[in-house]
Amino acid sequence: MADARLQTFLAALAVRPLVMGILNLTPDSFSDGGRFEGLGAARAQAAYLAEGGADILDVGAESTRPGHTPVPLEAEWARLAPVLAPLVAATPLPFSIDTYKAEIARRALAAGISVVNDIWGLQRDPAMADVVAEAQAGVVIMHNRETMDRQIDIVEDMLRFFERSLAVADRAGVQRDRVLLDPGVGFGKSGAQNLSALKATDRLKSVFGLPVLIGVSRKRLFGEMLGLSVDERLIATIAANLTTLARGANVFRVHDAAEHRAALKVFEAITNA
């Protein structure tokens, strides 16, 4: 079942921009922590995102916001186990699992998840690439840094990081046509570096020839830039996503699916007029 959904996702990816709806099962996410814990709330939010036009749903059970407290593997799985299989059964969309732990990814893929969204780009858990390859799953390789360094050229750092990640993926047998790249806005970057990373969307496309996923929904970047609270950052999020769409981005990881689907529809209508 997961493979059929993955094929649907990959086919759509080749022809139009896609919306990835965020479904947090965490008590401490920066935007909606604690709101969707439990099967009932998670199922309702999944249905809401699907009705709003999401193409894929990204489920996570560990917050990775700045300053987060790491969650042990079994605690993370305890949040996911009661929810994943019923969600997959109730929702026809493909799902991705937001985790950097190979064992969580393995269990999630067995429950019907189609894509692994790894914030450490296959470089944190040495078993992750093998898990993805064995399941013939999709994978989002995100750029990340242990520490922020304002002096480095963040774009060159991203290029070197992705080269290492793709080498890991190739050695494990991960299929290139199932790989997406994510510049990792908000992860180990200053505000200026976040902007440079977004501006480099077209460079990532030209260097690697792979789809690019953008995850800027409601992020601190907009609070610092515009003085907006988390709940006031939708317009800024859409503006950033449309800017990167014009530079070749393919998938947008967002909390607000319906609003982004409308914005993408207008963008496409003008582009294709």
pLDDT at 127: 98
pLDDT at 75: 92
Q: Which of 76-80, 125-129, 156-160 has the lowest mean pLDDT?
A: 76-80
Distance (Å, whole) CA 133 – CA 53 = 29
CB-based contacts of 152, cutoff 8 Å, min separation 6: none
pLDDT at 69: 76
pLDDT digits over 31-83, tens only? 444 455 678 888 999 999 999 999 999 999 998 766 667 899 999 999 999 99
pLDDT digits over 144-155, tens only? 999 999 999 999
pLDDT at 230: 92
Alpha carbons within 13 A on the beta-carbon side of 130: 6
> Was domain 2-271 assigned CATH 2.60.210.10?
no
pLDDT at 106: 98
Other residues' Cβ atoms within 10 Å of the Cβ of residue 86: 14
Q: Which of 219, 220, 233, 265 is catalytic?
A: 219
Contact status, residue 94 vs residue 115, Cβ threshold 8 Å: yes
199 classed as catalytic? no
Q: Are strands 179-182 and 213-214 parallel, antiparallel or unpaired?
A: unpaired
Distance (Å, whole) CA 205 – CA 250 = 10
Other residues' Cβ atoms within 10 Å of the Cβ of residue 225: 14
pLDDT at 37: 63
Distance (Å, whole) CA 123 – CA 145 = 11
pLDDT digits over 6-38, tens only? 999 999 999 999 999 999 988 744 444 445 567
Q: Which of 107, 218, 253, 261 is catalytic?
A: 253
pLDDT digits over 173-205, tens only? 999 999 999 999 999 999 999 999 999 999 999
End-to-end CA distance of the chain: 37
pLDDT digits over 107-121, tens only? 999 999 999 999 999
Of 9, 55, 46, nearest to 265 by C-alpha is 55
Residue 2: band (very low, low, confident or very high) from pLDDT cuts 50, 70, 90: low
106 classed as catalytic? no
pLDDT at 220: 93
Joined tokens for residue 7: 């094929």
| Strands laid side by side in the 95-98 sheet | 179-182, 138-142, 115-118, 95-98, 56-60, 18-24, 251-254, 213-214
Alpha carbons within 13 A on the beta-carbon side of 50: 15
pLDDT at 189: 97
pLDDT at 1: 43
Distance (Å, whole) CA 117 – CA 48 = 21
